[in-house]
């Protein structure tokens, strides 16, 4: 059975580094709440396990993908925002979620504001330049009108700055655009007699970049919270890499069988791997069916013990030049991400939910 170990120590370390970078205690007047993003099974780490660790370090707000995720962690947080309430629709889950006062629903359009009954907690999403989800800035007034007439509870106004990883001015252009949105929202709050909602716009890379600028704004225009995902899991995907974060997940697999093979023997599908010397090769019980990307010819990947992973991976197993009863496939997915020309998020999030997670 493959399994994931989640390092509590590294999670706590990351939390400390993030807090120190974004809301340093010694800087007076810096406010801002660190919220955790737990969507997609906590980026493949196991939503229950990560929720329990987040609660332990005092995190009060979590962002999840869908209704089911929100319900699964309802006892852990004071505020749970559902980013995509309509993905995985389920009438019973919706009814349950509507009854829980800590749960709020992200609304990316004027139409979506009409889907909810009176008193529903709403996080209004506004487009600030990513041109993905969210209402246009010019529709802000219409949204406030709908919120008032439908008697919705406006908990937040937010956007997603999609340029945090790019070291150019696009990030700041979007940041300024959200500042304008916040100013407009404050005017509308006054007009419609709605209490000031929480403002938020920054994910890991953006928060690390802009928390100082945020703190320099007049208090009422500051973002109130930061939506931190990948940094909690131990990866700093933007350069320059200033924070010393530690990956929290290690993936292990157990041995299925072992063969002693002669030099020149080919292994696996199409025999693409060939032994250059006599050696021992074992198969281990994780494959691309479990969500680990399919290691194939041309890729050089090693377990953390230094054993070579032999292409091609199969659906339910992989061959490794090793004889040990279990191996650690990775304790940092950076090498996998590089080999597959992708980002750590994509490697991690694919790990199947049925793989057991253990907090160590
Ligand atoms: C996923 C997500 C985040 C977290 O992004 P990270 O880069 O993992 O910190 C923040 N906000 C929204 C809306 C997201 O969808």
Residue 237 confidence (pLDDT): 77
Taking 70 as the threshold, does the pLDDT of residue 29 lie above it? no
Beta strands 198-200; 225-228: pairing state: unpaired
State if residue 62 touches ligand 1 by the CB under 6 angstroms criterion.
no
**pLDDT confidence band for 89 (50 / 70 / 90):** confident
Nearest to 329 by CA among 246, 230, 233, 254: 254
Alpha helix (H) ranges present in the chain? 8-22, 39-43, 47-56, 67-72, 91-98, 110-113, 140-149, 170-192, 204-216, 230-233, 334-339, 344-349
Q: Which range in 30-39, 71-80, 210-219 is most confidently predicted, on average pLDDT? A: 71-80
Nearest to 123 by CA among 92, 89, 81: 81
State if residue 230 touches ligand 1 by the CB under 6 angstroms criterion.
yes
Q: In terms of domains, do 87 and 183 share one?
A: yes
Catalytic-residue membership of 39:
yes
Q: Domain ends where: 207, 233, 259?
A: 233
Catalytic-residue membership of 269:
yes
- Tell me how far apart the alpha carbons of residues 128 and 199 are, in angstroms, rounded to a whole number: 13
241 belongs to a structural domain: no
Taking 70 as the threshold, does the pLDDT of residue 196 lie above it? yes
Largest Cα–Cα distance of the chain, in whole Å?
Answer: 81
State if residue 207 touches ligand 1 by the CB under 6 angstroms criterion.
no
- Tell me how far apart the alpha carbons of residues 8 and 55 are, in angstroms, rounded to a whole number: 12
CATH of the domain at 349: 2.40.37.10
314 belongs to a structural domain: yes
- Tell me how far apart the alpha carbons of residues 91 and 98 are, in angstroms, rounded to a whole number: 11
Q: Radius of gyration of the chain from Cα atoms?
A: 23
Measured in Å, residue 313 CA sits from the centre of ligand 1 at 31
| pTM tops 0.95 | yes
Taking 90 as the threshold, does the pLDDT of residue 138 lie above it? yes
Q: In terms of domains, do 226 and 253 share one?
A: no
Q: In terms of domains, do 277 and 228 share one?
A: no
The residues pairing with 122 across neighbouring beta strands, listed in sequence order, are 105, 154
Pocket test for ligand 1, best of 42, 62, 63 (most atoms within 8 A of CB): 63
Measured in Å, residue 266 CA sits from the centre of ligand 1 at 44
Residue 240 confidence (pLDDT): 60
Beta strands 249-261; 3-6: pairing state: antiparallel
Q: Is 315 one of the annotated binding-site residues?
A: yes
pLDDT, tens only, 107-130: 999 999 999 999 999 999 999 999
Taking 90 as the threshold, does the pLDDT of residue 165 lie above it? no
Q: In terms of domains, do 60 and 163 share one?
A: yes
Q: What tokens were used for 350?
A: 């694919």
Residue 163 confidence (pLDDT): 86
Question: Is 302 exposed, middle or buried, given 0-12, 13-18 or 19+ CB atoms closer than 10 A?
Answer: middle
Taking 70 as the threshold, does the pLDDT of residue 27 lie above it? no
CATH of the domain at 113: 3.20.20.10
Residue 239 confidence (pLDDT): 60
Nearest to 171 by CA among 214, 133, 136, 139: 214
293 belongs to a structural domain: yes
Pocket test for ligand 1, best of 15, 34, 37, 41 (most atoms within 8 A of CB): 37
Q: In terms of domains, do 224 and 350 share one?
A: no
243 belongs to a structural domain: no
State if residue 36 touches ligand 1 by the CB under 6 angstroms criterion.
no
239 belongs to a structural domain: no
Q: Domain ends where: 174, 207, 233?
A: 233
Summarize the confidence of residues 309-319 as an average pLDDT. Answer: 97
Q: In terms of domains, do 216 and 268 share one?
A: no
Residue 213: half-sphere exposure toward Cβ, Cα within 13 Å: 13
Percentage of the residues of the chain whose pLDDT score is greater than 90: 89
Summarize the confidence of residues 148-172 as an average pLDDT. Answer: 91
Residue 166 confidence (pLDDT): 81
Q: In terms of domains, do 157 and 43 share one?
A: yes
Residue 233 — φ and ψ, nearest 5°?
A: -80, -5
The SS3 call for residue 241 is coil
Question: Is 93 exposed, middle or buried, given 0-12, 13-18 or 19+ CB atoms closer than 10 A?
Answer: middle
238 belongs to a structural domain: no
Q: In terms of domains, do 136 and 30 share one?
A: yes
State if residue 37 touches ligand 1 by the CB under 6 angstroms criterion.
yes
- Tell me how far apart the alpha carbons of residues 215 and 195 are, in angstroms, rounded to a whole number: 21
Atom of ligand 1 minimally distant from the CA of 160: 13
pLDDT, tens only, 227-283: 999 999 999 877 665 789 999 999 999 999 999 999 999 999 999 999 999 999 999
- Tell me how far apart the alpha carbons of residues 285 and 316 are, in angstroms, rounded to a whole number: 6
**Cβ count near 223 (within 10 Å):** 28
Residue 238 confidence (pLDDT): 77
298 belongs to a structural domain: yes
Instruction: State how far Cα 70 lies from the chain centre.
Output: 15
242 belongs to a structural domain: no
Residue 257 confidence (pLDDT): 97
Q: Structural domain tally of the chain?
A: 2
pLDDT, tens only, 338-348: 999 999 999 99
Measured in Å, residue 208 CA sits from the centre of ligand 1 at 13
Roughly what angle, to the nearest 10 degrees, separates helices 170-192 and 140-149? 40
Comparing 62-66, 208-212, 272-276, 298-302, the range with the smallest average pLDDT is 208-212
Instruction: Quote the mean pLDDT of the chain.
Output: 95
Q: In terms of domains, do 48 and 111 share one?
A: yes
Measured in Å, residue 80 CA sits from the centre of ligand 1 at 14
Q: Domain ends where: 177, 198, 233?
A: 233
State if residue 50 touches ligand 1 by the CB under 6 angstroms criterion.
no
Q: Is 1 one of the annotated binding-site residues?
A: no
Q: In terms of domains, do 181 and 216 share one?
A: yes
Residue 148 confidence (pLDDT): 98
Q: In terms of domains, do 229 and 259 share one?
A: no
State if residue 228 touches ligand 1 by the CB under 6 angstroms criterion.
yes
Q: In terms of domains, do 150 and 207 share one?
A: yes
**Residue 345 DSSP class:** H
Summarize the confidence of residues 219-230 as an average pLDDT. Answer: 97
Domain that includes residue 170, residue range: 7-233
- Residue whose Cα lies nearest atom 15 of ligand 1: it is 83
């Amino acid at each position: 059975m493959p399994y994931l170990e989640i390092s509590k120590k590294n999670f706590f370390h990351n939390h400390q580094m993030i807090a120190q970078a974004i809301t340093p205690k010694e800087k007076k007047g810096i406010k801002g709440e660190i919220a955790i993003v737990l969507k997609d099974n906590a980026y493949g780490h196991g939503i229950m396990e990560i929720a329990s660790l987040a609660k332990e370090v005092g995190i009060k707000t979590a962002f999840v993908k869908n209704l089911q995720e929100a319900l699964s962690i309802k006892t852990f947080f004071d505020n749970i925002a559902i980013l995509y309430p309509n993905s995985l629709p389920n009438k019973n889950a919706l009814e349950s979620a509507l009854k829980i006062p800590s749960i709020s629903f992200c609304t990316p359009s004027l139409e979506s504001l009409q889907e909810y009954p009176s008193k529903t907690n709403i996080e209004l999403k506004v487009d600030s330049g990513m041109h993905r989800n969210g209402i246009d800035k010019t529709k802000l007034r219409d949204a406030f009108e709908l919120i008032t007439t439908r008697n919705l509870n406006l908990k937040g106004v937010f956007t997603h700055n999609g340029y945090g990883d790019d070291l150019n001015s696009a990030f700041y252009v979007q940041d300024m655009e959200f500042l304008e949105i916040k100013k407009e929202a404050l005017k509308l709050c006054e007009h419609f007699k709605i209490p000031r909602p929480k403002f938020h716009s920054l994910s890991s890379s953006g928060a690390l970049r802009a928390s100082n600028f945020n703190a320099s704004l007049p208090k009422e225009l500051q973002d109130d919270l930061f939506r931190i995902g990948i940094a909690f899991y131990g990866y700093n995907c933007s350069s320059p890499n200033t924070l010393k974060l530690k990956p929290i997940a290690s993936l292990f697999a157990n041995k299925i069988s072992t063969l002693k093979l002669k030099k020149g023997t080919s292994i696996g599908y199409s025999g693409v791997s060939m032994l250059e010397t006599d050696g021992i090769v074992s198969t281990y019980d994780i494959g691309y069916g479990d969500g680990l990307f399919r290691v194939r010819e041309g890729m050089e990947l090693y377990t953390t013990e230094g054993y070579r992973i032999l292409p091609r991976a199969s659906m339910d197993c992989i061959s490794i030049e090793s004889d040990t009863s279990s191996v650690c496939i990775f304790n940092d997915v950076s090498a996998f991400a590089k080999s597959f020309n992708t980002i750590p998020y994509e490697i991690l999030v694919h790990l199947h939910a049925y793989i057991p997670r253990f907090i160590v």
